[in-house]
Amino acid sequence: MANTPTAAELAAVENANASGRRPVVFVHGLWLLGSSWQRWADFFEAAGYAPLTPGWPDDPESVAAARSTPDAFAGKGVGDVADYLQAIIERLGVQPILIGHSFGGLLVQILAGRGLAAATVAIDPAPSRGVLPLPISSLRASLPVLGNPANRKRAVTLTLDQFTYGFANAVSPEEARTLYETFHVAAAGRPLFQAAVGNFNPRSETAADNMRADRGPLLVISGERDNIVPWAIANATFKRQRRNTDAITEIVEIAGRGHSLTIDSGWAEVAQTSVDFIDRVLPTH
């Protein structure tokens, strides 16, 4: 497993440092690649930020490459990815904004809990240790992985029907198929198993230090119709983070949106919500 950033990731760091702008690090979750953030990166660059879209360790360079080598995703855990991203963030000359979706939403909370974020946006975040709700829709969406214990060491590819239920239930069937064909790749099973037992393991890699004084402002964004991370999980995440009285913690629900809210045709509404929060809590950048 790669322990150092790729040449492209190092170049992105160099460009961000040379720009004089506040960096924004986008963190993807399972079944997507860093390239799924490209429209967000362009949006934030136009808003005056320096975007970076790093992958997870050993991520293939493209969706096509990922589909030809699905086993490249196998075996990666939450701790591996968090440490890899930290190695990238620590090369930045200015403390970045962190934006993550799904397991990326959990990862950015872990990194903020290490004091690495100027501000954080966690979009439909996977549950950290201490987040207790486990809705039926989440169990159903996770069943393609958790239904087979051997998947802990494997990479798992979703069918179109599974992707539609988990990600694209709030868009048309035609858009769901387009999203599947454009963005979907295999994903490591291990993080889902780690999240499933996180509350029983005091040393779980899914733990996020929500009480750190320099955690920075944090926004949780929830899609109203999300099956993987419904309101119960997002709101429990918010309530846990809100215990930190040294930093701003907010939550917003985006009406009518599912787990695909960062990649579907309504992505710009979510990006604007993120920019509005960041500009308010970090008025200069």
pTM: 0.97
The string of pLDDT tens digits covering residues 235-285 is 999 999 999 999 999 999 999 999 999 999 999 999 999 999 999 999 776
Summarize the confidence of residues 2-17 as an average pLDDT.
93
pLDDT of residue 57: 96
The region of weakest confidence among 134-138, 219-223, 262-266 is 134-138
121, 97 Cβ separation under 8 angstroms: yes
Average pLDDT value for residue range 123-143? 93
Q: Could you tell me the residue ranges of all domains in the chain?
A: 7-278
pLDDT in tens, 177-220: 999 999 999 999 999 999 999 888 888 999 999 999 999 999 99
In this prediction, residue 274 carries a pLDDT of 98
Distances (CA, A) of 240 to 123, 127, 253: 15, 11, 17
Residue type, 191: P
Q: 4-8, 95-99, 203-207: which has the highest mean pLDDT?
A: 95-99
For residue 2, pLDDT over 80 is answered with: no
| DSSP symbols for 138-173 | HHHHHHHHHTSGGGGGSEEPPPHHHHHHHT-TTS-H
* Confidence at residue 163, expressed as pLDDT on a 0 to 100 scale: 98
The yes-or-no verdict on residue 134 having pLDDT over 90 is: no
Residue 1's pLDDT band (cuts 50, 70, 90): low
Domain 7-278 is classified in which CATH homologous superfamily? Alpha/Beta hydrolase fold, catalytic domain (3.40.50.1820)
Model confidence pLDDT, tens digit, residues 29-86? 999 999 999 999 999 999 999 999 999 999 999 999 999 999 999 999 999 999 999 9
Helix, strand, coil % in the chain, rounded to nearest 5: 45, 10, 45
Query: Which pLDDT score is estimated for 56?
Result: 97
